[in-house]
Amino acid sequence: MAKEKMPRTADELFGGGLLGNMLQGKYLTEEVYAWFQKRHDRSKTLVVGDDGWYRRNGHDYKVPYGLRATALQEPLRHSQVVNKFPWYVTWRSAKTGKRYKKYFTTVASALVFVAEQAQYVDPQACVVSRHGYMIPPKLRNKIPSPYKWCPACMTARKFYRVRPEQFVYAMIRSRTPDEKGNYPYKERKLPLLQCRVCGTTTRDTYYRRSNQFWLTVKVKPGVHRVNRKARRKK
């Protein structure tokens, strides 16, 4: 069987799905994934300096730490390869207050749009991932209330109750140990909350896991087995 010839442009890889924004099945290969990953690695180094700033074409923009520690560090996922537009930029109109969205194929092109255009209309303009990320290790247990980690915005956000009011049941880890030194999970009924920037709710798996109480283990050099009870707050 003859090998499928690679198209010349990335747009030719897509065309599947109802709207034509999904990767065609014949291109679901390791070679295509490697090409997307190489493009991702190359483009992100061009737009963000070692100091975390975007400085190009006379524009300066401080790239948020959450974005640098997640989308710009982690490899692309399968869902980000098969979707033509896994990123979008959102901002509000300075005149009407209406929220707008513009979709992008790469996180680098989304950053360029924020740095060179959107930030001058709305200083709070940001890049949003349509596929959530876990909270970076340095931010675990560090986000002050009432803010929570938003997996799509990749930063701390305030979450508000949805209207009409809804409730969810979730397993919440206790912040105080029991008699055996464990931190048990307890089921609780909680109001459904939503991020007003991207629409992520507290039903999201990455939200629930990221905003749980995190436990850390202090491991001495040379130790290969860790005592589960030797835990401490970070």
- Could you report the per-residue pLDDT of 99-118, keeping only the tens digit for each? 999 999 999 999 999 999 99
Do 135 and 149 form a contact (C-beta atoms < 8 A)? Answer: yes
Q: What would the mean pLDDT of 118-122 be, rounded to a whole number?
A: 95
Give, for 107, the enclosing helix (H) or strand (E): helix 107-113
**Nearest Cα to Cα of residue 107 among 46, 27, 33:** 46
> What stretches of 29-184 adopt beta strand conformation (E)?
53-56, 59-62, 87-92, 99-104, 126-129, 147-150, 155-161, 167-173
pLDDT category of residue 226 using cuts at 50, 70 and 90:
low
Q: Which of 165, 65, 155, 58 is nearest to 112 (CA)?
A: 58
pLDDT digits (tens, 9 = 90+) for 182-213: 888 888 899 999 999 999 999 999 999 999 88
pTM of the model: 0.84
Q: Are 199 and 189 in contact (CB under 8 A)?
A: no
**What are 38-47's pLDDT values in tens digits?**
999 888 778 8
| Residue at 228: amino acid letter | R
Q: For residue 189, what are its two tokens?
A: 């009924």
C-alpha–C-alpha distance, residues 25 and 29, integer Å = 9
Task: Say if residue 164 is preceded by a cis peptide, omega within 30 of 0.
Answer: yes
Distances (CA, A) of 140 to 15, 79, 143, 185, 190: 40, 25, 7, 18, 21
From 60-69, 125-134, 148-157, 214-223, the region with the lowest mean pLDDT: 214-223
3-state class percentages of the chain: helix first, strand second, coil last, to nearest 5:
25, 25, 50
Measure the N-to-C terminal CA separation of the chain; round to a whole number of Å: 56
The CA–CA distances, whole Å, from 230 to 87, 227, 233 equal: 41, 5, 11
Please report the pLDDT score of residue 43 as a whole number: 80
